[in-house]
Structure 1
Amino acid sequence: MADSNTLPVNGATNGETAPIMRSDNDRFELISGPLINLKNMHYESTPMWHGSVLIVTKPGQDQPQLHLRQQAPLSSDGQHQSPTNRTIEGLKLYQDLHKAFWRFSLDVPVESYEASWEYEIPGLFNVSGEQVNSPWTFVVPAEDQSMRIMFHSCNGFSVGTDMEAWKGPNLWHDVLRVHGEKPFHVMVGGGDQIYNDGIRVDGPLKAWTAIHNPHKRRTHDFNEKMRAECDEYYYANYVRWYNTEPFRAANGRIPQVNIWDDHDIIDGFGSYTDHFMKCAVFRGIGASHCSPKSTFTTDAPQTMHAVNGTSGVDPRQLENTFVLEGQPEDDSWIIGKRPGPYVEERSRSLYMRFGKRIAFVGLDARTERTRHQVNYEDTYDLIFQRLQQEIAAADGDIKHLIVLLGVPIAYPRLAWLENILTSPIIAPIRLLNKRFGLAGGLFNEFDGQVDLLDDLDDHYTARQHKRERKILIERLQELARANSVRVTVLGGDVHLAAIGRFYSHPKLNLAGENDHRYIVNVISSAITNKPPPKAVANLLARRNKIHHLGRTCDETLMPMFDKQPGGLEKSATWNKVTMPSRNYACLTEVVAPAANGTAGEVESAKLERLPKDGHAPLHKGEVGAGTTHSAADGFTCNSSMYGGLDVAIRVEIDPQDMKGTTEGYGFSIPPLAATAEPPSSRHSLRSRISRHDVRHDAVQDEAAGQAAGRPSTAH
């Protein structure tokens, strides 16, 4: 299928003019790219895969072209089929005096077989004058196939990281190795694809950060000069990082889907105190990541308040600049109804199909975030309306829903630490910090609060987010129950690996395959940033209690890490639930082999005897989780959990190993059969779970708060 940007090589269709063919002498100076992006898949009438390729070049050059061809597969009779060739014209998205952004829209048919596509962009030369190696290839799943998913987060380094100890983005070598064994169809970025925190250390916000008077810092202007300097810093940092190998190689070969998180802007964005988040500088750098047309500055009042969902136009920002307008929105967007509290733009969450039986939704949990909310209620309504609409339209094809969140949602409670850090005992230390610099590393440079608080406030398990978290999980569980769709959550941010799970209280006697409350949270982080110390991972493991999400649902981390990676001690030998080492995740649908021309039978995941709690395996897919599980290598996919998902966490062994060698840990997630929960279970369970059980965690957290000098809040 062709559109105005996708035309056959040998001529035009539908009366359109054939594209101009470039000569061998045409040269395009490449600044960055290519980056291949997945936009969506559609299965109405002719199944289609939709994506795009982005490059950044020097400005003022001719329109580049992309040549696309399907690598010839073997037909059933062993003869080569004729490859499909296309030439796609680049569409200029943006240009100023220093750079131009070009997009090539790719729309390719989904075949009855898994298809490998090859593309090249003739005439590309690096700024240094070297010719760019091409072509690049990507893989589209077959019509009856779901996508193989690679998930990562925290793909960068925090300020102050010892770069001698942590040698670059090495794990991308292992990603490409696994991709070579069995191709990934999509790689999902869970936020912090880049770390921009250096903008306050050696960038244009250095002088502002150094202002000691909080009032002067809050009231500081964000004028056009500062905006331009911040834009240039962010742009240069993106180019530097996205040109770093082997990350750059993966970007051109594995179609990507990304959401953003705080470090994509600056550490803690959205989770500082409200009066500080509303300061001009924070509003300015938040807005600069959204609209390429015109963004917030204090010397252009029309940009300081959103009109029709976006900031007003400042003519100075458009001098010698081209911005493409009038383009239809991709149908993958779920756009919020109103701007965020600190960003003059509407949120943009994502929905798309990941092949035949997997749907995906990625929440924009940063645009609307404050210290007391993650997303607006009406944004959740839009997301769930879209999900129900898409699941119904798929007519039973969708069996799995992958939900992408920036931070984990099934994770050990840290309320006791929040209580300590917000208790009266911190106040005199803060005063001494302001006057004499005592405990300088404990407090952040922005609002003067304890530095760790913005990270804690970011968590769904933070006390101010608990109600919102509970409602979100219960809505996902009800969506799963109503549609027999298994929900799995991806989350990163915390710089270690873990597997959290929600599940029905054991007294309900629901097997995992019948339990619509069984939602796994695959926690994979970081693929590049350094992990926390062993002591932190071990402390989290000790906090791995059985928590109650209401009266019918429990949650806890799953024992997963049966041995230390490569024999190198990363955490205590008794710690089986948190792994402080760089890592990434692989998710693959398990397809039953054909039997007599028909699909094989789905094997039950039910255990002969259900466990008493989530510290033990909840179904057969969790039995033997770890290095000996068949899913551990990330590509074999022969667990017999037919219709389910094989999950692997690939964990770095040695950060000094430039090859990024990993150890794999695996388990399986069963598909969701019809729930067997009796209708009266919600009421009858109340008499079987004591009030003491339900309040156990709250009592523990309250005791920790009182020990820290915080007044009691029990009621």
Structure 2
Amino acid sequence: MGSTNNIEEPVPPTTTGSEELQVLAGPLLNYKGMIGAQTGSKVWQGSVLIVTKPAQTQPELRVSLRGPVRPQQAVNGNSELPNGQADGVDGASTATGAEPRTISGERLYSDPDKIFWRFTVEVPIQPFEAQWDYTISRVRYLTRGSNRHPSTETFVVPSQQQSMRIMFHSCNGFSVGTDENVWTGPVLWNDVLRFHEKAPFHVMIGGGDQIYNDGVRVDGPLRPWTDLANPKKRRDYQFPETMRADCDKYYFDNYIRWYTTEPFAAANAQIPQVNIWDDHDIIDGFGSYTDHFMKCAVFRGIGGVAHKYYMLFQHHSPPPKSTFTTDAPQTMESQGLEGTGADPLQTKGAFVMTEKEEHHSWIIGPKPGPYVAERSRSVFMQLGKHIAFVGLDARTERTRHRINYPETYDLIFHRLDREFSQLQGEIKHLIVLLGVPIAYPRLQWLENIFSSPIIGPIRFLNKRFGLAGGLFNKFDGQVDLLDDLDDHYTAHQHKKERKELILRFQALSKKHSVRVTILGGDVHLAALGRFYSLPTLNIPVEQDHRYMVNIISSAITNKPPPPAVANLLARRNRIHHFDSETDETLLKMFDKVPGPSVQVGKSNHATMPSRNFAIITESNSSPQATNGTSAPPTNGHSATHPNNGEKKDAHYPLSLGEENAGTQHPAAAGLATSTYNRYGLDVALRVECNRGDIKGETVGYGLSIPALGHEAPSAATA
């Protein structure tokens, strides 16, 4: 966090003749975690955020239990039936702690133009999957979507025996220059809401780029800086208070615009979100340009401003007291662990809450990042009965040559080890969120071309005559795609760090008998990568702690890459030898194109260049076989791959859960769970059918990820 120096709290401006709250954005619903897992009296924790015009009235939120999701639904203590459902118990009569309660809003941040209000919500987890209503009194919505806002919103909490039903997305915005009319805006959120109505999501995970702020350099206050032709002048450009204030207004206005855009706004009010950030939440490529350029005043300045509104809008947490400006030396050098020093110009007339203590979901980095002078904030929480989640903040500490500090990895793995030890085998699955894919085709040959001397003459002609203008970015004069390639875990400079990270997850999985599944976005296409033990080791996937699936879902809103790029990646999809015991590759799971507007090579079944999101549901069905494995989800279809039950070609299914992966798999529907593996995960990649369809309808491609049957070593042998 920023400095905690005491700053006089200003008196908010008075209202003008009305006690009504004028809402600029919200409500935005977040999930914070569960408490009481060891005591058996579990409590769901979350928060609701609204942004209002200045007012003296302190808002209040009323939360009440509506009842079971389905009228006859309830759960008895021993139920392990699909979706955590059981019959025979009246949900209303078994409710605990369900009395309506009123929660006063806390002022997170205010200045003369706006106030951020947070309501901290805690509700007891019921024996049944429960609907909770919340109402914010005396509000009037001023922005787009105001005609949608009902007086009462509803969210759903899983039962005591359920794991959460998860929706995962990334890249929820448009890159500069994209024709938003052609791509019909964020229409896939319509499909998200349709699924939510059929079978409610308990949480939605944002994998980064929840908002695109790149326009700050095109039609925003950075335009004069971007237009400078000389890279040295751009590096030396100052970031005075006037520019900081202009950027502050730009980022705030862009958040208000995007977070009130339907149907995204409707999803934010009903589905609790958990987020990490990536470069576009700041600006394209942030952290992956050359070090001397990233240290320039403008990059450090916008990094601070973007972090401020990321903390407020996406985490409902107070930001630092001040952000970087060249007018205030105390903001230009890190103030130890406190980050940025307080600037009297910025704090005049403003208020920033100081948290009494950090929330237990945070894993806070050991020291400030190099370009955003704040400590990284990864998150850990339990997603219902059997699933744990960790999201790595892989942007705050990022440089071109490093993603996270070694000390940060230590903090993360120490936390995971401690949590799993305390939960004593209750957690069957760990979902890991990374900003970019980690099991992905290598493109080092392309990096080598872009970094080679042959680019030099082309760069010279670009500077003098504008030749190949689209090839080079306007920040540091490098090839425009190079920052994207440098961002990847598979980039050559991240190779060692990537390997150490995967090995640590393998060791964690083996020690605690927890299956690890990785989420990644960023690349604007759908795919599914896997790490797995070498076939010569003859380890079934169900017992293979090295088997880790990387669900790649991107983008839910931004346009996909050209088909040629997806086809190139598919051709580069070789079986890669990660180490002497582990291989990796993408699964060929796209058995057909989702619709006529999606173009892809006939031989490409591994990468799908169409907008998409993912649905992840625990399979609570009982095993069907008697030999320790479950019946394959064939659904009447036979396997079409050449493996014949053996691991010969890992581009094709490695396990029963991967049999018929694609549109024929039961999990593809994104609704019912399959019968493959108890405590496993069913995954549906929901892919847009037709560009331009405002309904945002999707086709599903499914597979199942088995729980790990490996027995954890005893304390004596661990």
Could you state the TM-score of these two structures normalised by the residue count of structure 1?
0.88
* Cα distance in 1 between the residues matched to 2:91 and 2:34: 29
* Aligned-partner Cα distance in 2 for 1:527–1:286: 24
SS at match of 1:199: helix
AA matched with 1:303: T
The residue identity in structure 2 corresponding to 1:499 is L
Cα distance in structure 2, aligned partners of 1:535 and 1:266? 26
Candidates 609, 620, 630, aligned match of 1:603:
630
Single out whichever of 409-418 and 299-308 deviates more from structure 2: 299-308
Which residue of 2 is the match for residue 44 of structure 1? 38
1:523 matched to 2:516? The reply is no
> Which residue of the partner structure matches residue 667 of structure 2?
631
* Alignment equivalent of 2:27, drawn from 19, 29, 34: 34
- 1:313-342: CA deviations, max 9, x gaps? 101001111111143111000001111111
Matches for 1:57-456 after TM superposition, within 5 Å:
57-73=52-68, 76=88, 78=90, 80-81=92-93, 84-127=99-142, 132-288=149-305, 289-290=307-308, 291-309=319-337, 310-456=339-485
Cα displacement string for residues 394-445 of structure 1 (whole angstroms, at most 9, x for unaligned residues): 1110110000000000000000100110111100011111111111111101
Mean CA deviation greater in 479-488 or 561-570: 561-570
CA deviation map 1:103-124 (0-9, x unaligned) = 0001111111111101011211
2:459 alignment partner, SS class: helix
Structure 1 runs not aligned, ≥5 long: 1-24, 678-715
Contact 2:126 2:160 in 1 (8 A): yes
Contact 2:67 2:91 in 1 (8 A): no
- Per-residue CA deviations over 1:602-638 (Å, capped at 9, x if unaligned) read 6277998322131121100000000010000111113
Distance 2:628 2:153 in 1: 39
Structure 1 counterpart of 2:630, which letter? E
Note closer, same or farther for the CA distance 1:548–1:435 as it changes in structure 2 (3 Å cut): same
The answer on whether the counterparts of 1:277 and 1:342 sit within 8 Å (CA) in structure 2 is: yes
Cα distance in 2 for partners of 1:315, 1:580 equals 49
Please provide the CA RMSD for this pair: 2.0
Whichever residue aligns with residue 140 of structure 2, its letter is F
Q: Structure 1: how far apart are the matches of 2:177 and 2:299? A: 22
Describe the SS at the equivalent of 1:311: coil
Specify the SS of the correspondent of 2:498: helix
Distance apart, 1:570 and its partner CA: 2.5
Helix, strand or coil: the match of 1:401? strand
Q: Is the CA contact 2:622–2:677 (under 8 Å) kept in the aligned structure 1?
A: no
Deviation at 1:164, TM superposition (A): 2.6
Deviation of the 1:133 alpha carbon: 1.7
From 51, 58, 77, the counterpart of 1:56: 51
Deviations 1:157-198 (A, max 9, x none): 000001231000000000001111111110000000000000
Q: Distance in 1 between matches of 2:659 and 2:705?
A: 11
Q: CA deviation at 1:384?
A: 0.3
Query: Judging changes above 3 Å, is the alpha-carbon distance between structure 1 residues 60 and 616 closer, same or farther for their aligned structure 2 residues?
Result: same
1:591 aligned onto 2:620: yes
Cα distance between partner residues in 2 of 1:517 and 1:399: 15
Q: Is the 8 A contact 1:511 1:610 kept in 2?
A: no
Residue 640 (structure 1) aligned with residue 640 (structure 2): no
Cα distance in 2, alignment partners of residues 510 and 316 from structure 1: 63
* Contact 1:418–1:453 (Cα < 8 Å) also in 2: yes
For structure 2, the 5+ residue unaligned runs are 1-17, 75-87, 309-318, 634-642, 714-718
Cα distance between partner residues in 2 of 1:311 and 1:568: 49
Following superposition, the deviation at residue 60 of structure 1 comes to 2.1
Q: Is the 8 A contact 2:623 2:631 kept in 1?
A: no
Question: Structure 1 residues 246, 392: CA separation in 2 closer, same or farther (over 3 Å shift)?
Answer: same
Corresponding position: 1:468 with 2:494? no
Q: 1:593–1:600: 8 Å Cα contact kept in structure 2?
A: no
2:548 aligned partner, one-letter code = I
Aligned to 1:486: 515
Structure 2 counterpart of 1:181, one-letter code: K
Change in Cα spacing, 1:72 to 1:219, as seen in structure 2 (3 Å) is same
Give aligned-pair identity as a percent: 61
Q: Retained in 2: the 8 A contact 1:653–1:661?
A: yes
Tell me if structure 2 keeps the 8 A contact 1:124–1:132.
Answer: no
- Corresponding residue for residue 497 of structure 1: 526
Distance 1:616 1:675 in 2: 27
Number of the residue aligned with 1:614: 650
5 Å matches for 1:572-587?
572-587=601-616
Shift in alpha-carbon separation, 1:542–1:132, aligned structure 2, 3 A = closer
1:672 aligns with 2:708: yes
- Name the CA distance, whole Å, in 2 between partners of 1:136 and 1:379: 38
CA distances 1:209-260 after superposition (whole Å, capped 9, x unpaired) = 1111111110111111111100100000000000000000000000000000
State whether residues 433 and 440 of structure 1, in contact with CA within 8 Å, keep that contact through their aligned partners in structure 2: yes
Residue identity matched to 1:116: Q
Matches within 5 A, 1:563-574: 563-574=592-603
* CA separation of 1:613 and 1:659: change in aligned 2, threshold 3 A: same
Name the SS of the counterpart of 1:665 in structure 2: strand
Q: Deviations over 1:132-178 (max 9, x none)?
A: 42211111111111111100000000000012310000000000011
Higher relative contact order (CA 8 A, sep 6+): 2
State how far apart, in whole Å, the 2-side matches of 1:264 and 1:642 are.
38
Change beyond 3 A, Cα 1:567–1:611: farther
Residue matched to 1:553? 582
TM-score by length of 2: 0.88
Distance 1:475 1:605, change over 3 A: farther
8 Å Cα contact 1:639/1:668 also seen in 2: no
Task: Tell whether the 8 Å contact from 2:173 to 2:210 is kept in structure 1 after alignment.
Answer: yes
* CA pair 331-458 structure 1, distance change in 2 beyond 3 A: same
CA distance in 2 between partners of 1:201 and 1:639 (Å): 51
Q: Which letter does structure 2 place at the counterpart of 1:114?
A: E
Structure 2: which amino acid aligns with 1:66?
L
Write the distance in 2 (CA, Å) between the matches of 1:29 and 1:61.
Answer: 12
Deviation at 1:645?
0.3
Paired AA for residue 173 in structure 1: N
Distance 1:338 1:79, change over 3 A: closer
Shift of 1:77: 5.5
Contact 2:613 2:686 in 1 (8 A): yes
* 8 Å Cα contact 2:125/2:160 also seen in 1: yes
Q: Deviation at 1:292?
A: 4.1
| Shift in Å, 1:84 | 2.3
How far is 1:377 from its partner?
0.5
Aligned mates of 1:654, 1:130 — CA distance in 2: 28
Residue in 1 aligned with 2:314? none
1:353 alignment partner AA: Q
Asked whether the equivalents of residues 340 and 374 of structure 2 are also in contact (C-alpha less than 8 Å), the reply is: yes
